[in-house]
Amino acid sequence: MVESRSEDAALTNSGGRRRPSQAEAEAAVRTLIEWAGDDPDREGLVGTPERVVRAYEEFFAGYNEDPISLLAKTFEETAAYDEMVVLRDIRLESHCEHHMVPILGKAHIGYLPAGRVVGISKLARLVEVFAKRMQIQEALTAQVADTIQEVLKPRGVAVVIEAAHQCMTTRGIHKPGVSMVTSRMLGCFRDDPATRREFLAMIGSPRSAPLES
């Protein structure tokens, strides 16, 4: 379980601004409950503000982690392995920064090593760190790919994300069954069509053509 932050702790957010205390966050949830038309003091809702704040600590835990340091430990004993490394179907849970509702899907990552590889669990953790922030899918895709490129300096990186956005399935236009596909291709994945095709074949080619950036 994620531990609650102390009310008395001097907290700041990533922009250096004062971070509200847990009590202030819970008060904000109470206000939203009242705004929605219910009574925050009725039996079923008495503990809801605290539960929501605890849930938000988990949903947005990525703000507390450094994605670059996550990939810092690499391995050079690769037996001269220089073929594609692919991790596919990484479960992705994020939240839309426009409506703060879930984005649910999967990410696929591929890279061509240049002498160094990283533990595959770190790639999944990297997706999680960026996903557990308020996001748009395009930015999330670019952040994962750019960080791998910056830290590992491989010959190329490919990231494809397929996800459903509840901001358009449970509200607004109400179109369930729609998924968004984005991609970021760097290095040889961008420059060499054959390498890009091999990667897409290995991940099973998304149902829609990826939006290259």
Query: What are the C-alpha distances in Å from 8 to residues 2, 19, 23, 52, 62?
Result: 18, 11, 10, 20, 22
Instruction: Measure the CA–CA gap between 137 and 141, rounded to whole angstroms.
Output: 6
In 3D space, the residue among 199, 120, 125 whose CA is nearest the CA of residue 155 turns out to be 199
- Which of 7, 24, 98, 212 is an active site residue? 98
- Which of 96, 135, 162, 188 is an active site residue? 96
167 is catalytic: yes
Find out whether 159 and 145 touch, Cβ atoms under 8 Å: yes
- Which of 22, 128, 165, 188 is an active site residue? 165
Instruction: Measure the CA–CA gap between 82 and 56, rounded to whole angstroms.
Output: 41
In 3D space, the residue among 184, 204, 86 whose CA is nearest the CA of residue 140 turns out to be 184
174 is catalytic: no
Find out whether 92 and 104 touch, Cβ atoms under 8 Å: yes
- Which of 93, 99, 138, 166 is an active site residue? 99
- Which of 7, 34, 58, 97 is an active site residue? 97
108 is catalytic: no
Q: Compute how many other C-beta atoms are within 10 angstroms of the C-beta atom of residue 201.
A: 9
Instruction: Measure the CA–CA gap between 168 and 99, rounded to whole angstroms.
Output: 10
165 is catalytic: yes
- Which of 137, 143, 162, 188 is an active site residue? 137
96 is catalytic: yes
Cite the active site residues: 96-99, 137, 165, 167
